[in-house]
Structures are given as structure tokens and as C-alpha cells.
Amino acid sequence: MRACIPLALAVLCGLAWAGKMESCASRCNEKFNRDAACQCDRRCPWHGDCCEDYKHLCTEDHKESEPFPQPEEKTEEALASNLYSAPTSCQGRCYEAFDKHQQCHCNAHCQEFGNCCKDFESLCSDREGFSYSSDAITKEEIQSISEKIYRADTNKAQKEDIILNRQNCISPSETRDQVDHCPKPLFTYVNEKLFSKPTYAAFINLLNNYQRATGHGEHFSTQQLAEQDAFLREIMKTAVMKELYSFLHYQNRYGSEQEFVDDLKNMWFGLYSRGKEEGDSSGFEHVFSGEVKKGKVTGFHNWIRFYLQEKEGLVDYYSHILDGPWDSYPDVLAMQFTWDGYYKEVGSAFIGSSPEFEFALYSLCFIARPGKVCQLSLGGYPLAIRTYTWDSSTYGNGKKYIATAYIVSST
């Protein structure tokens, strides 16, 4: 979240209380102003720091200023309600000005609001490198930065560090049978010297800080909170996270590294409620440590966690349905397993990647494509990650927590 300096520069007319706030009068679509108390640029809905009168003064259609509307909001009935037939293609319309009467859009913000025409990417997103617009992150840009992150992962496992025994591959239709097709563990050998590396050690310290059953509130000790900060501090020293921050800073998503780290801590470690008790879950717990809800394993998408739990006899590997095309690490595997008797029907995970690598890619996709499929490229191979936002509670003036993030396909 942007740092907000509490300067009272204008008095809003008609307010019933005496507090002073800044207005968007004569400031619509200006550049981000670090010295202002609130913002009026086109990114302020995403950052949650707009002035109170931003919608009234700076948007033609108030609904267009709401960040990342859900797909179900754009119904066929709403499209059919248009009084005339508007163009549904971006042919000849790339980066035109916003027109609320259009059925779909081709401006620099349509990806942000999820209302682009279907051919927007093919017609309007064919540029290499970074976009000229600070607001729209193209598919090509995401693929470019994911390749840079892939190459920067110097802490990943080498071929000799991990020996897998994949055993039987089954069809997706067989996953519901809950049959153990693999009598032996998945991991035959792991070079545990990896775990002494700073980011690995800091990551492993976090894994046992959670109660896996939803509905039981998390209560962190001072030491556990310090372990969260230590993990973020260690990963930010790596080339992987420096690549990600540089990219997002260039895109005007974050003004400083500290702002970026603070937002990562909120979106990943901020607590919310999946069950009856407040603060029983977080994005980090769900994705990396794993949870149990209604008798089923949810989340649990990390190879280090899998290995450590398998070593303790708590994880029983059943089979896999997908083995990625990579001939070195990180690789991808979609598995079936039980965790202390609870079944996971499909659990996709990177294998042999560093903690910072997974954290970077999931964060990239959540920031650039929240609640959507995010198309990456790793070592020349396509990969897709799906994220979901937690919509029942927010932080930082409406920003969303991570509900989950996981690999969905290799296409």
C-alpha cells in the first residue's frame, strides 16, 4: 500500500464533520503524488488510496472505478441491455479513450478492470519489453519477468540434490477413487544441505506456526511474528525477489522496496476467517503449509513441506496425474496423497524450487492477475498459475488477501 502523508490541503464542501481532506478537484488522472494525502491517478482504486470524491469527479461510470470486478458481474443480461450494438473487437481501437457505451474496451486499463475485448491481447499487446502504460501489465511482460525469475533462482536444487520415485501416473478420472497406486514414498533422496541456506531455513521455521484445522484461530507469539519478518528479509536479499521488485517498481505498482515488503506481509500473512473463528487462516498457511477443512486437505502446494511431512510418516504419496516437461529443477508435479489420513485429490507443486522462487511467482500472479489465470514462461515452456482473492475481508483500504495460488496447467 502506498504511504499516505496526512496533509489537509482542502476542505470538502458539504461534510457534516469538521475533518479536513484533500479533493480530486482539478486533479483527475494526475500522476501519483507522494506528498498528497490521497490520490486521483488511475491506479488509486487498485492501491486503495483514492480521495473520497474520486468516483464522483474522475469517472464517467462509477462502476468502472471499482478495482478488479469479479467475472460474474459482467452478465450476458447486462451486455444485452445496451441500447445499440457496440463493437466487440479491438480492431482499430487499441488504447482508445474510455467510452462507457462500449460493450468491451481496448484502453490501457481494461485488463485492470477485466472488461477488455476478447482480441485485446492479440491486437494490442504485441509489444516486447515493458509497457508504455504504467497501468496495464501485458501477458508478454509477465512471461518475460517470469523467465528472468526462473534464471535468477540460483538457490534451486540441482539434479543430484533430489531423487524422485514418481511410480504410477493415473488419469484425472481416477483421482476420486482414493486408491494408493504408489507403495513407496515420492522422495527417495533429498540433499538436506539445501535447508541450511538462509531462505530455506527461514521458510521451514514458518511451517509449524499454524493449526492446520480451519475454525481454530491463529495466535502468533512474538517469536513467530519475528520469523515472518526474517523470512521476508532473507528472500528480499535474493536475485529472484530483486527481479520481481524491479519489475513492479517500473510498473508503478510500488514506490519503494519497503512498501512492497509491507504489502507482501499483509497479503500473505494477514489473518482472515475460513471457519467460525476469526483469524484462522492466511494465504501463506493455505498455500505453503496446508490446511484441513471438512475432512479434506486444502492448499498444501509446497515440495519442502511435502518432503518433511513424508519423512515423518505423515504424508502418503498415492500417485500423480501430471509431470512437467522440465529436465532440471524446478519441475512441476500434480499429485494425490493423504496427509495424516486426510485426502488431497489434486495437489500441484513446484519440485526443487527455492522458497523465494515460488513466493515470487505466486506474488507476481496475484498482483498482476488477481483472481485470474496467469500465463507464465519458464525455461521456454508455458505454465499457468491460478490465484483467488479472499473477498470476505480486506486490508489497507480495500486490498485483498491471498486466498490461494497454485499451478493449473502447462498450456
Catalytic-labelled residue, pool 293, 344, 372, 400: 344
Q: Helix and strand tally (H, E) in the chain?
A: 13, 10
Cβ contact 48:397 at 8 Å: yes
Q: Is 286 a catalytic residue?
A: yes
Beta-bridge mates of residue 406: 386
For residue 394, the tally of other CB atoms under 10 A from its CB is: 16
Cβ contact 345:334 at 8 Å: no
Cβ contact 371:387 at 8 Å: yes
For residue 82, the tally of other CB atoms under 10 A from its CB is: 11
Q: Is 265 a catalytic residue?
A: no
User: Residue 203 has which C-alpha cell?
Assistant: 521458510
Catalytic-labelled residue, pool 47, 293, 301, 399: 301
Of 86, 99, 92, 98, give the one whose Cα is nearest residue 120: 92
SS (H, E, C) 240-272: HHHHHHHHHHHCCCCCCHHHHHHHHHHHHHCCE
Angstrom distances, CA of residue 2 to CA of 36, 38, 310, 320, 389:
11, 10, 42, 43, 20
DSSP 194: G
Helix (H, G, I), strand (E, B) or coil at 73: helix
Catalytic-labelled residue, pool 286, 320, 399, 400: 286
Angstrom distances, CA of residue 370 to CA of 105, 111, 143, 251, 374:
19, 11, 16, 16, 9
∠ CA 284-290-296 to the nearest 5 degrees? Answer: 140
Angstrom distances, CA of residue 1 to CA of 30, 57, 77, 264, 395:
18, 23, 36, 10, 9
Beta-bridge mates of residue 169: 320
For residues 239 and 171, what is the distance between their CA atoms, to the nearest angstrom?
38
Residues assigned a catalytic role: 286, 301, 344
